[in-house]
């Protein structure tokens, strides 16, 4: 390698167009980041003859921030922005005199005193936002970016030029904002398009210049109004521009330059800050501990009065949150420089003078050299003043969201003061929830980035009402109301009925616990109670009702709370005294014993914490193991035998005579057809289907799916699929109830239900989409069948099935309600009751078997189809709902999906060049590893060198069910993987080295694994539960051997097990499910 002779890597492009097709037109950033993963810290693209270099490591960014060698470049999209604002501050070239004049005239106006003087006006607009949210109440989802955009635009316009857009008084955004948004997007697109294609974009061009016109007219009006009505506002930016004189040249700013800069401020100052606030609230809601610390800090520093200037400097944790937010999501995700002379960068790449180089902050600020192995985690602590200073000293230019040197952001103090004030004011007065707890971050990009489709809900904090908030914001003494006087919690207020009120909270990711919470609310009236709220646990954050009983139903995920319970759990575990003395509670927990170490961790933790904090336990905790498949039965048993009797005793309420009756749904059949889907999934489309297994073998398939727009994923993530029931099962149910094929119905219900109510729906749709038909019947549902039976013999049989025979005859054989109805035709169960007894349709998860470096818009799935003789012994075969739904899809078919991230540890290491990996899979467990290796192949194809990867794979026979052998051979030839096989039914095959199962092969090749382990390898396992267990045992044996061989240490398997468990999710990650 000779200096300057190494070619900068990059994808080849098309003649004329170059790499235009390589870059996603809606979110170019995603493509730039993926290309950085693929090609490494430097790559080049060519946009219709304009070459651009992209750099993304801290080392390169640090080099490029040397202003003696590199200057801001206005050649990229900024060149197009000049169409509207010419040589305004942001877009001026270094040698344009107007930049220097405006810069020197305006610097004093951005000084600390001037900015501090703007606090009252910032407070004015922030209060408008707070009052709007207070009046909306907790049931209305807040479109976060829109309201923050209103806030930042109005703040900037008021503070900078004394102009009120009054955005909070209009439903529609001001036309200026729409014009600015489309102008910025189009500026980015125009830059990437070849000029020759401009004739195809006449309409866009026309609109582009209309937008410019509107923006300039608005700014001109502001300027004229000020000239006609001079004010005594001596601190705003417009005054500075009108009256200021450049100390160097003695010149004043021209009207045209003032208009350029007015628009520049509006553009540069509002989207950036609005994006920062939106990302910050997203991160706080995703990181409950950070949320709690930030809120505690506000309470401590500010208390209940208005936020004042002297508080802002003391909000150290919130400042760290904002810094960490801008590290993760720099709202200006890149800026450009160009060499002043021909240069060699990175010690080896030649870059000619004036060649634009993009500093890709969204990647460089994730560099593990600076931020360590957890660089991709959100950790505000690393940004606390002392740590922040240390980082910047050791790694200069490692945090650059405000740009560099002379051309760095002039508005930084303005943005910082506004962001601190608004974050503090909101946390002081509200509690927030994600509207959709499983929301995953999507990006919307113009010249800046912001979260897309991010909604939250808020409720006023304890004791506050909209009126008292108004007092508080205005600085007059707030009048506190009684506990719970605020806006009712989170939208789900139940009908009070006549019962005694109680509250139900759930922590749930995939809907089971939420379903149980609804079931409890449904059952309450017959026990003399009425559920006042049925809400996510986070809605009870700092606000657990103390004047009525509280029931909590929750799951655990990897020992952590579900997405909608993190804030609550973090909060109660931070309490020390007797804060729950007035709270009466009962907890029910769902878990899965495969998570041995953390089985039921969260429900048990909540139950014991509430007790420790002085709470009054109404009933013993109820627990259910999902592995046994009897959650609904376990819950009903707990309800009937533990919870309701305890409630009735404590509150002296007699159960109603109809306590056992299931609240039936009233059903009316009709003809019009509508349908509605209520799950958080969006429409995707099948692009390719392949059968992977040989004919006559258990079926395994491969699907390629085009994701809904802007749904992003990482290799190793899951795709959540909302399936439809197999047609055969729907037909069976309709036949049993003798419902005609084209029948429609309207469901009415007084209680809670997961079914769509008061809509006319086809029966076929409801049975196909809304309920699980194949789940085992619960004891209570069997008793309902008994109630609906006249014949004493059948009644007795059913009662036995719900009693002593339940485990052997129903649970073990997984007999469904439908099967019982078919078995006993004499049962006269109303269809409405049948519907109300069925659990709601669940989503299923599948490991994504592709990498976004292959295609960021498509995913592939690799799955086995569950279809076998029914365990119950009926003539009908057991047909797995989701696997058969997927198996029956063809190219062009639609389905509903969403991406759910897998555990952080189940992703490729950030430092792929130095961290070896060992993957172990059997059958379709290969899915996530196919994604990993496809990603590694893309990186190697782009010229990167990577640490080694071993993949152990087990199947029955290479001729029967070997998955992706051709792909794997190709990737092995590139060095992306080193494959090791085990064939359970052809162990004598030469490739299997005599090994039947994958764990045998792992142990057989343990020396190779040992070598990688010593170099810091990470181990990943995926497959069925049995495979997981087998591999675990083999790994323990292998590790005990390493300890003996390498360290001469004799360790028992128990000791190795303990040590190994400590590495779980650090160097050892499993994805093992049945
Ligand atoms: C995070 C995660 C990732 C996953 N990734 C993948 C993947 O990449 N590929 C893949 O193939 N799968 C994967 N799975 C499994 C997948 O989600 C489904 O569980 C699987 O496809 C079966 O779903 P189903 O709807 O077809 O079956 P369901 O209708 O849900 O039926 C399954 C239930 O039926 C029971 N059952 C099984 N056989 C019978 C029988 N003969 N009679 C009566 N009852 C029976 C089972 O005990 C089980 O409780 C993953 C699971 C998880 C949790
Ligand atoms: N992310 C995830 O969690 C994820 C992803 C994909 C798949 N899965 C799950 O993984 C499982 C794999 O299903 P599949 O149908 O593809 O597998 P499969 O074809 O039934 O089995 C694959 C291989 O594993 C062997 N095997 C059976 N028992 C084993 C044991 N105790 N130890 C080691 N190997 C064993 C089988 O051998 P014999 O049949 O000859 O005994 C066969 O050779 C499913 O349960 C699926 O749901 C989970
Ligand atoms: C969180 C909020 C903000 C962020 C992340 C941010 C980021 C940046 C960045 C990265 C640059 C340099 C761009 C480049 O080199 O091409 C910049 C420049 C600039 N910013 Fe900001 N900005 C923010 C808020 C503001 C505000 C509130 C204002 C106005 C009040 C403002 C006005 C400007 C101006 C005028 C420039 C050009 C400076 C020059 O080149 O002289 N910015 N900003
Ligand atoms: C990725 C994953 C991790 C899990 N981790 C745990 C755990 O640590 N402890 C536990 O008891 N159960 C664990 N479970 C099981 C769930 O808690 C259980 O399936 C529960 O019923 C889910 O409830 P929900 O549908 O309301 O989210 C896990 C399940 C999954 C899919």
Return the pLDDT at 675.
34
Q: What is the pLDDT of residue 294?
A: 97
- Confidence at 658, pLDDT banded by 50, 70, 90: very low
Model pLDDT, residue 131: 93
Model confidence at 493, pLDDT cuts 50, 70, 90, reads very low
Give the pLDDT score at 664: 60
Cα 405 versus chain centre, distance: 35
In which band, very low, low, confident or very high, does the pLDDT at 483 lie, cut at 50, 70 and 90?
very low
Tell me the per-residue pLDDT of 45-66, one tens digit each, with 9 for 90 and over.
998 788 999 999 999 999 999 9
Amino acid 668: pLDDT = 58
Nearest CA owner, ligand 4 atom 9: 599
Angle between helix 1053-1062 and helix 1025-1047 axes, rounded to 10 deg: 110
Mean pLDDT of 487-493: 32
Say if ligand 1 is within 6 A of residue 225 CB.
no
Ligand 4 center–CA 555 separation, angstroms = 6
* Banded model confidence at residue 234, pLDDT cuts 50, 70, 90: low
Q: Interhelix angle for 927-941 vs 28-39, to 10°? A: 80
Reported as a single tens digit per residue, the pLDDT across 662-680 is 556 666 554 332 233 334 6
CA distance 737 to 760: 19
Q: What is the pTM for the complete model shown?
A: 0.81
Indicate if ligand 3 lies below 6 Å from the C-beta of 90: yes
When comparing pLDDT for 515 and 379, which is higher? 379
Q: Which of 558, 720, 985, 1023 to mutate to test the pocket of ligand 2 (most atoms within 8 A of CB)?
A: 1023
Assess whether pLDDT exceeds 90 at residue 1034. yes
Most confident of 182-196, 578-592, 658-672: 578-592
Distance CA 733, CA 822 (A): 9
Taking the CA of 562 as reference, the closest ligand is: 4
pLDDT in tens, 280-317: 999 999 999 999 999 999 999 999 889 999 899 899 99
Nearest ligand, measured from the Cα of 148: 3
pLDDT at residue number 626: 84
| Ligand 1 site, residue 844, Cβ cutoff 6 A | yes
Q: What does the pLDDT look like over 973-1005, one tens digit per residue?
A: 999 999 999 999 999 999 999 999 999 999 999
pLDDT of residue 1: 47
Cα-to-centroid distance, 786 and ligand 3 (Å) = 72
Separation between Cα atoms, residue 5 and residue 951, nearest integer Å: 37
Task: Give the residue-averaged pLDDT of 775-783.
Answer: 93
Give the closest residue (by CA) to ligand 3 atom 26. Answer: 269
Given this model, what pLDDT does residue 142 score? 94
pLDDT score for 676: 36
Q: Is 919 a catalytic residue?
A: no
600 lines ligand 4 (CB under 6 A): yes
pLDDT digits (tens, 9 = 90+) for 848-877: 999 999 999 999 999 999 999 999 888 889
How close is the Cα of 591 to the center of ligand 4, in Å?
A: 5
Q: Is the pLDDT of residue 338 over 80?
A: yes
Q: What's residue 665's pLDDT? A: 64
pLDDT classification of 227: cutoffs 50, 70, 90: confident
Which pLDDT value is given to residue 462? 79
Token duo for residue 952: 């152990």
Of the listed 388, 402, 737, 1073, which one is catalytic?
402
Ligand 3 atom at minimum distance from 416 CA: 1
pLDDT for res 480: 39
864 Cα–ligand 1 center, Å: 9
Cβ neighbours of residue 287 closer than 8 Å, sequence gap 6 or more = 378, 566
* Contacts within 8 Å (CB) and 24+ apart, 685-693: 685/892, 685/893, 685/894, 685/895, 686/889, 686/890, 686/891, 686/892, 686/893, 686/894, 686/895, 687/858, 687/891, 688/891, 689/889, 689/890, 689/891, 692/862, 692/961, 692/963, 692/964, 693/960, 693/961
- 8 Å CB contact between 488 and 539: no
Q: Which pLDDT value is given to residue 1062?
A: 80
**Do the beta carbons of residue 405 and residue 65 sit within 8 Å?**
yes
Q: Calculate mean pLDDT across residues 313-335.
A: 96
DSSP code, position 811: I
603-607 long-range contacts (CB < 8 A, ≥24 apart) are 603/552, 603/553, 603/554, 603/555, 603/556, 605/569, 605/573, 606/552, 606/554, 606/569, 606/572
DSSP letter string, 685-703: EEEEEEE-SPTTSPPEEEE
Give yes or no: 32 in active site: no
* Centre of ligand 4 from the C-alpha of residue 592, in Å: 6
Residue of 511, 882, 921 to mutate, ligand 1, most atoms within 8 A of C-beta: 882
So what's the pLDDT on residue 656?
56
Say what percent of the chain tops pLDDT 90. 65
Question: Do the beta carbons of residue 131 and residue 469 sit within 8 Å?
Answer: yes
For position 468, what pLDDT does the model report?
85
Tell me the sheet residues that pair with 335: 359
Q: Is the CB of 57 under 6 A from ligand 1?
A: no
436 Cβ below 6 A of ligand 4:
no
Catalytic residue among 272, 753, 833, 862: 272
Q: What are the pLDDT digits (tens) for 99-109?
A: 999 999 998 88
Cα(1029) to centroid(ligand 1), Å: 18
Which protein residue's CA is at the shortest distance from atom 2 of ligand 4?
557
Q: Is 369 a catalytic residue?
A: no
Q: How far is the CA of 919 from the centre of ligand 2 (A)?
A: 15
The verdict on the CB of residue 414 being under 6 Å from ligand 3 is: yes
Which of 18-22, 123-127, 218-222, 676-680: highest mean pLDDT? 123-127
- Select from 91, 268, 448 the residue to mutate for testing ligand 3; criterion: most ligand atoms less than 8 Å from CB: 268
Contact assessment for residue 753 and residue 518, using Cβ atoms and an 8 Å cutoff: yes
Q: Is the CB of 561 under 6 A from ligand 4?
A: no
- In ligand 1, the atom with minimum distance to the C-alpha of 844 is 17
Compute the average pLDDT of residues 943-963.
96
Residue showing tokens 């207020």: 493
Name the band, by pLDDT with cuts 50, 70 and 90, for residue 236: confident
Triad 517, 518, 523: Cα angle to 5°: 100
Q: Is 272 in the pocket of ligand 3 (CB under 6 A)?
A: yes
Q: What is the mean pLDDT of the chain?
A: 89
Alpha-carbon Rg for the chain, nearest whole angstrom, is 32
Cα gap 123→311, rounded to integer Å: 13
886 CA → ligand 1 middle, Å: 12
Exposed (0-12), middle (13-18) or buried (19+): which is 10, by Cβ within 10 Å?
Answer: buried
| Nearest atom, ligand 3, residue 110 CA | 30
pLDDT at 85: 94
Average pLDDT over residues 189-195: 71
428 pocket-lining for ligand 2 (C-beta < 6 Å): no
Whether 91 lines ligand 3, by a CB cut-off of 6 Å, is no
Which has more pLDDT, 757 or 893? 893
């Amino acid at each position: 390698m000779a200096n300057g002779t190494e070619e900068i890597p990059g994808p080849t492009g098309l003649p004329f167009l170059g790499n235009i097709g390589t870059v996603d037109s809606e979110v170019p950033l995603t493509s730039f980041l993926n290309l950085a993963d693929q090609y490494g810290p430097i790559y080049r693209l060519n946009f219709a003859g304009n070459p651009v270099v992209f750099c993304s490591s801290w080392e390169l960014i640090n080099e490029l921030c040397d202003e003696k060698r590199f200057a801001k470049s206005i050649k990229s999209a900024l060149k197009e922005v000049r169409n509207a604002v010419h040589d305004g501050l942001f877009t001026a070239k270094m040698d344009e005199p107007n930049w220097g004049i405006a810069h020197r005239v305006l610097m004093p106006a951005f000084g600390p005193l001037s900015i501090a003087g703007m606090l009252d006006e910032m407070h004015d607009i922030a209060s408008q936002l707070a009052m709007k949210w207070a009046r909306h109440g907790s049931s209305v989802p807040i479109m976060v970016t829109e309201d923050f955009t209103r806030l930042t635009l109005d703040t900037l316009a008021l503070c900078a030029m004394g102009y009120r857009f009054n955005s909070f008084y209009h439903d529609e955004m001001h036309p200026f904002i729409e014009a600015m948004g489309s102008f910025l997007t189009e500026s980015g697109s125009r830059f990437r398009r070849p000029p020759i294609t401009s004739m195809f974009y006449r309409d866009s061009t026309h609109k582009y210049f209309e937008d410019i016109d509107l923006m300039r007219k608005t700014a001109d009006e502001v300027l004229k109004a000020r000239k006609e009505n001079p004010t005594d506002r001596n601190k705003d930016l417009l005054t500075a521009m009108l009256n200021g004189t450049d100390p160097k040249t003695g010149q004043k700013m021209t009207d045209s330059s003032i208009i350029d800069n007015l628009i520049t401020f509006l553009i540069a100052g509002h989207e950036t800050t609005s994006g920062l606030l939106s990302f910050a609230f997203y991160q706080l809601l995703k990181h409950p501990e950070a949320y709690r610390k930030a809120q505690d800090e506000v309470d401590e520093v500010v208390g209940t009065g208005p936020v004042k200037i002297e508080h802002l400097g003391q909000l150290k944790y919130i400042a760290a949150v904002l810094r960490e937010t801008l590290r993760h999501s720099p709202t200006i995700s890149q800026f450009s420089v160009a060499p002043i002379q021909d240069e060699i960068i990175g010690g080896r790449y030649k870059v000619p003078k004036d060649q634009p180089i993009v500093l890709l902050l969204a990647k460089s600020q994730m560099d593990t050299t600076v931020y360590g192995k957890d660089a991709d985690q959100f950790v505000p602590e690393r940004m606390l003043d002392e740590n922040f200073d240390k980082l910047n000293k050791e790694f200069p230019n490692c945090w650059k969201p405000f740009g560099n040197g002379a051309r760095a952001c002039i508005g930084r103090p303005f943005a910082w003061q506004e962001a601190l004030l608004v974050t503090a004011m909101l946390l002081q007065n509200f509690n927030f929830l994600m509207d959709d707890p499983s929301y995953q971050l999507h990006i919307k990009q113009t010249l800046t980035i912001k979260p897309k489709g991010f909604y939250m809900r808020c409720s006023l904090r304890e004791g506050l009402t909209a009126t008292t908030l108004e007092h508080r914001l205005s600085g007059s003494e707030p009048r506190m109301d009684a506990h719970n006087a605020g806006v009712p919690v989170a939208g789900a207020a139940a009908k009070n009925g006549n019962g005694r009120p109680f509250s139900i909270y759930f922590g749930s990711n995939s809907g089971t616990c939420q379903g149980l919470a609804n079931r409890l609310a449904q059952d309450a009236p017959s026990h003399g109670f009425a559920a006042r709220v049925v809400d996510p646990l986070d809605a009870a954050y700092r606000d657990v009702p103390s004047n009525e009983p509280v029931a909590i139903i929750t799951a655990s995920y990897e020992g952590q709370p579900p997405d909608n319970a993190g804030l609550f759990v973090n909060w109660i575990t931070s309490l020390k005294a007797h804060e729950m003395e007035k709270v009466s509670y009962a907890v029910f927990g769902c878990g899965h014993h495969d998570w041995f170490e953390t089985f039921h961790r969260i429900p048990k933790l909540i139950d014991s914490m509430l007790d420790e904090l002085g709470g009054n336990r109404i009933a013993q905790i109820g627990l259910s193991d999902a592995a046994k498949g009897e959650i609904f039965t376990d819950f009903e048993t707990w309800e009937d035998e533990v919870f309701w009797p305890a409630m009735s005793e404590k509150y002296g309420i007699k159960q109603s005579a109809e306590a056992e009756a299931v609240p039936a749904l009233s059903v009316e059949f009709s003809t019009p057809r509508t349908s509605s889907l209520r799950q958080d999934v969006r429409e995707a489309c099948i692009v390719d289907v392949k059968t992977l297994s040989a004919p006559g073998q258990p079926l395994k398939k491969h699907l390629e799916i085009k994701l809904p727009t802007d749904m992003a994923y990482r290799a190793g993530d899951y795709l959540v699929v909302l399936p439809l029931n197999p047609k055969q099962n729907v037909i069976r149910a309709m036949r049993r109830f003798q419902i005609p094929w084209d029948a429609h119905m309207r469901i009415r219900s007084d209680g809670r239900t997961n079914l769509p109510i008061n809509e006319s729906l086809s029966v076929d749709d409801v049975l196909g989409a809304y309920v699980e038909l194949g789940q085992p019947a619960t004891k209570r549902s069997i008793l309902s069948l008994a109630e609906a039976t006249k014949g004493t013999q059948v009644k007795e049989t059913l009662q036995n099935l719900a009693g002593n025979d339940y485990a052997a005859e129903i649970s073990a054989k997984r007999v469904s309600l439908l099967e019982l109805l078919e078995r006993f035709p004499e049962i006269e169960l109303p269809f409405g009751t049948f519907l109300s007894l069925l659990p709601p349709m669940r989503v299923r998860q599948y490991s994504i078997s592709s990498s976004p470096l292959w295609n960021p818009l498509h995913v592939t799935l690799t799955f086995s189809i569950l279809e076998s003789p029914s365990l119950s012994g009926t003539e009908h075969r057991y047909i797995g709902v989701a696997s058969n739904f997927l198996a029956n899809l063809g190219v062009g078919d639609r389905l509903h999906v969403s991406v759910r991230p897998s555990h952080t540890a189940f992703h490729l290491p950030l430092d792929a060049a130095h961290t070896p990996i060992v993957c172990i899979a059997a059958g379709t467990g290969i899915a996530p590893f196919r994604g990993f290796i496809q990603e590694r192949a893309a990186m190697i194809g782009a010229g990167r060198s990577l640490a080694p990867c071993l993949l152990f794979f087990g199947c029955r026979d290479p001729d029967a069910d070997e998955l992706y052998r051709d792909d794997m051979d190709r990737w092995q030839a590139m060095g992306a993987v080193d494959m090791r096989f085990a064939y359970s039914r052809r162990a004598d095959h030469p490739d299997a080295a005599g090994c039947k199962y994958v764990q045998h092969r792992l142990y057989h090749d343990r020396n190779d694994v040992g070598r990688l382990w010593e170099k810091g390898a990470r181990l990943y396992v995926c497959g069925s539960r049995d495979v997981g267990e087998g591999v675990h045992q083999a790994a323990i044996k292998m590790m005990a051997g390493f300890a003996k061989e390498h360290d001469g240490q004799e360790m028992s398997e128990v000791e190795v097990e303990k040590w190994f468990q400590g590495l779980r999710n650090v160097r050892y990650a499993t994805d093992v499910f049945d």
